[in-house]
A = this chain, B = another copy of it.
Amino acid sequence: MIAGMAAEARRAALQLARLSTEQRRAGLLRAEEALRGARDAILAANAADVARAEAAGLSAAMIDRLRMDEARIAGMAAGVATVATLADPVGQVIDTAVRPNGLELSRIRVPIGVIGIIYESRPNVTADAAALCVMAGNAAILRGGSEATQSNAAIHRAFCEGLSRAGIPTTAVQLVETTDRAAVGAMLAAHGAIDLVVPRGGKGLVARVQAEARVPVLAHLDGINHIFVHASADKDMATRIVVNAKMRRTGVCGAMETLLIDAAYPDPAALVQALAEAGCAVRGDARVCAIAAVTPADEADWDTEYLDAICSAAIVDGLDGALAHIGRHSSGHTDAIVAADEAIANRFLAEVDSAIVLWNASTQFADGGEFGLGAEIGIATGRLHARGPVALEGLTTYKWVGRGAGQVRS
């Protein structure tokens, strides 16, 4: 079944790639209207999914992720409209040069082609991912979670109705039946037929996709993020950033998980104290335990993404101590330094090998919206193709276009 869908998707992708910016925008705006118009149908489908999930005894957290209400549907529709306002990367000239023989060569951004999205319980991903794929000129094959089957189908139906009203083939966005258990495996094996797979969900899903995939994967793994407070840091700024980075929202991938305090920082106990007062359980190394009444950290703590009101904390010897700790334990997502000393900050920014490195700012800014990308398909923790928050540009590639006057090669 996936082979047939992928073939349809390829045909749709070739058509999408030829549409103007305005045509793709119109498709998204019609999809927004259709989603708003389908509100009652989506709510009914979602109620059925939620009832089934409750009967099956799913956790309250899972049911909350699954549940849609009027506000969530409106937010989802507005998100689709927002994508339509983003700068269009397709057709953008990356660079151009005229060779000595007169051949003009340009690199032009083009869609990737066929993108598979494999996701879990949140039904809004159906519309979010479809909008980003279509706006970047790609066809999407969506495979949502089995608990959201009816919600996803209702959202997908509305989205495609909108596309159709704008003259865009509905094969541009196809939804895989969740009753097809082999579908995920087939998507991951579809080398050459699906150009990129984006898993959106928990670690289990992402790990399975990475382990099995024969197709390129744009994946988001752990965000074990550090903040290093250097001796030169302004004390108020350091406290504000550290507390915000950990406690603003503890469940996001940009949350700080480990605090590193320079041994020469004037008041390390105050930092730990501020976290504790904000409700954070701190697990300290021996040097932190010596200055504050906190739980001792064990080795596993330095490699743990808590996603909770917990953080590990260590006292390190200057920038080199911080770099050594981060080199061993960072997951390469987002790491930050708080420092007044610009030379120290520049070394940190240069030497920490993470997708996002920040100076004097909270790690919670690790987010496509905050980065001005408008929306994101995910935050990539791999090193190839795209890194950090990925939006429309990351869903494109390029081709070389050469214009000659009859040049042959000697």
Contact = CB atoms under 8 A, between A and B. Distances in A.
Interface in A240-264: 240-241, 244-245, 248
Contacts of A359: 402-404
B355 A400 contact: yes
Contacts of A327: 14
15 contacts: A14-B327, A14-B353, A103-B365, A105-B372, A112-B383, A240-B408, A355-B400, A357-B400, A357-B402, A358-B403, A360-B404, A361-B404, A361-B406, A384-B397, A387-B400
B240 A399 contact: no
A367 to B, nearest CB: 8
Interface string A209-221: 0110010100000
Nearest to A110: B353
A399 B357 contact: yes
Contacts of A355: 399-400
A405 interface: yes
Interface of A: 14, 17-18, 97, 99, 103, 105, 110, 112-113, 191, 195-196, 210-211, 214, 216, 234, 237, 240-241, 244-245, 248, 327, 345, 349-351, 353-362, 364-365, 370-372, 382-385, 387-389, 397-410
A349 B401 CA distance: 7
A364 B358 CA distance: 46
A359 B361 CA distance: 49
A328 to B, nearest CB: 11
A358 B113 contact: no
Given A355-B399, A361-B406, A387-B398, 10 more contacts: A17-B351, A113-B353, A216-B216, A241-B408, A357-B400, A361-B404, A370-B409, A384-B385, A384-B397, A387-B400
Contact of A18 (B351, B382, B388, B403): B351
Query: In the complex this chain forms, how many copies of it are found?
Result: 2
A95 to B, nearest CB: 10
A406 B234 contact: yes
Contact of A407 (B105, B216, B360, B407): B360
Given A112-B383, A358-B404, A383-B113, A364 B240 contact: no
A105 B371 CA distance: 7
B354 A399 contact: yes
B371 A400 contact: yes
A99 B372 contact: yes
Nearest to A240: B408
Contact of A408 (B356, B364, B371, B400): B364
A158 to B, nearest CB: 30
Nearest to A249: B409
Contacts of A97: 372
Contact of A387 (B361, B371, B399): B399
Given A353-B14, A358-B404, A364 B409 contact: yes
A11 to B, nearest CB: 9
Given A105-B371, A234-B406, A408-B244, A353 B17 contact: yes
A211 B349 CA distance: 37
Q: Which of A244, A382, A388, A402 has the most CB of B within 10 A?
A: A402
B384 A216 contact: yes
A210 B195 contact: no
Contacts of A354: 399
Contacts of A234: 406
